[in-house]
Amino acid sequence: MRKLFQDDLHNLGDQLSDIAALVTEAMEKAYRSFETADVQLAEEVIAADARIDSKQNDLDEKAIELLALQGPVASDLRLVVGALRMSTSLERMGDLARHIAQLTRLRYPDPVAPAPLVTVYRDMAAKDVEIARKLVELMDTRELGLVSEIFALNEQINELHAGIFTTIAKPEWDASPASTADATLASRFFERFGDHGVSVARKVQYLVTGEWEAKPVA
């Protein structure tokens, strides 16, 4: 019985890694659709989000079953509760990728990004994808040095996000109200994706150390 329980715990970790991999793919495709106004690719991202939601539901149901039937304690309890919380953050990351794809679909055939912000979004998206990839690696290896790297990437995204608002506030900004609204929404989606990645990284760190650190382990 104990071996079966440990197998179930291991499977929770595998499920989290699978969801993180799907989230990585979602952001990669969402940004490509965003940059190129590829509405077909955007539709793929929007449709694929249901798969992420389904996998989250499956994981949550299994975790709740383990809590109810196995009564885990100590590190096992941390793992089950942590899996529930991480799945929520990963599902939200998938939603944010979907939101970016929905902006593409909304403005098609025009691009969403105003010309002065194209390179900024490209940088934000690249860092988001890197965070998602590092989350997959972190879940597989529990190498806590990756937590610091994820934190650093998120700080860079935050700086880019702030820079977009600085650009929009300049007197020479002449984009339409609709384009300006899209620009701020897109920036917020990219920024929040990184924030949720940090949240997942913090929880993995907690599972490994049993402690919440003010700063990630170097």
pLDDT at 88: 96
3-state secondary structure the chain: CHHHHHHHHHHHHHHHHHHHHHHHHHHHHHHHHHHHCCHHHHHHHHHHHHHHHHHHHHHHHHHHHHHHHHCCCHHHHHHHHHHHHHHHHHHHHHHHHHHHHHHHHHHCCCCCCCHHHHHHHHHHHHHHHHHHHHHHHHHHHCCCHHHHHHHHHHHHHHHHHHHHHHHHCCCCCCCCHHHHHHHHHHHHHHHHHHHHHHHHHHHHHHHHHCCCCCCCCC
Q: Which domains, from first to last, does the chain contain?
A: 2-209 (1.20.58.220)
pLDDT at 69: 81
pTM: 0.93
pLDDT at 217: 40
pLDDT at 2: 63
Q: Which residues of the chain have pLDDT under 50?
A: 214, 216-218
pLDDT at 216: 44
